[in-house]
Amino acid sequence: MRRLFFLGVCLAAALGLIWGCASVDYTSVASIALKTAPKVAQASRPISDSEEYYVGRAVAARILGTNRLVTDQQLTLYVNEVGQAVARKSPRPTTYKGYHFAVLDTSEPNAFACPGGIIFVTKGLVQTCASEDELAAVLAHEVAHVANKDGINSISKARWTEVLTTLGTETAKQYAGAGGQLITLFEGSIDDVFKTIVVNGYSRTAEEAADAQAITTLRNAGYDPGAVASVLNKMLAKSSTGGGMFKTHPPTADRLAKVKTAAAGAPDKMEEVRTKRFQSIKL
């Protein structure tokens, strides 16, 4: 419990620097679940939006345990503005606590979509992008993972069923033994998601679906859908030698070909304006 509480406090404190004076609930994921647990668990039901958020917040806290956020408020605000623009045009424009975007202070190019809508992009990946449209393509791809619930769906179904069963018992509310079991189960669920988005990466099917959705989202948001292909070209060129995103998001020639076909079309007249805006922010 202390470990989860500490992680929650770390995330709340860090994100509080970005998102202003909004009140933050420092209660641990397990405690929140215990307080809101129904008397009888429906072990077959899907994970709710609020449960997805709390799992995602714990995953984000674990990421922040080894990565600090940039202190550049202008860069953070800019990435949030671009992220919110694409999120609004995604298949899932709203989440339980909304989308939040933050920049990790590392030169390694990477991005992480935590369940529920907390999305991290590294300073190194921002520097890899050549335009606002490419940054929007990266963020639209990560938003697609949230919209498709790829992260939360990586939790073992057997494990989540056990979580729900434990939540539904009066014992879980009254005795520390069951509470300890619940914490262990939640930590296992968090491990499932963390390993998927940080260590192993998503399946090729999930990545291709996120690519396709990013193209549609970019087009709807007024960005150049071809930016998805340009980002994938960079990933393909660096995948044999690069780490970070180039390791966990491995592109293929076939995947790139699909994106180029789907994203055909001329960029709009505002792309030059967006590129200048990006260059004024980029470090």
3-state secondary structure at position 118: strand
Q: What does the domain layout of the chain look like in residue ranges?
A: 2-154+197-281
Residues 6+ away with beta carbon under 8 Å from 10: 61, 64, 65
In the predicted model, what is the mean pLDDT of the chain? 78
pLDDT at 13 over 50: no
> Looking at residues 24-47, what average pLDDT do you find?
51
- Looking at residue 167, what is its pLDDT? 61
| Selected residue with higher pLDDT from 38 and 134 | 134
The pTM (predicted TM-score) of the whole model is 0.78
Please, which contacts does 108-111 make with residues 24 or more away whose CB atoms are closer than 8 Å? Answer: 108/243, 108/244, 109/242, 109/244, 109/245, 109/246, 110/244, 110/245, 110/248, 111/138, 111/139, 111/141, 111/142, 111/245
- Looking at residue 148, what is its pLDDT? 96
Taking only the tens place, the pLDDT of each residue in 57-106 is 999 999 999 999 999 999 999 999 999 999 999 999 999 999 999 999 99
Beta carbons of 59 and 115 less than 8 angstroms apart: yes
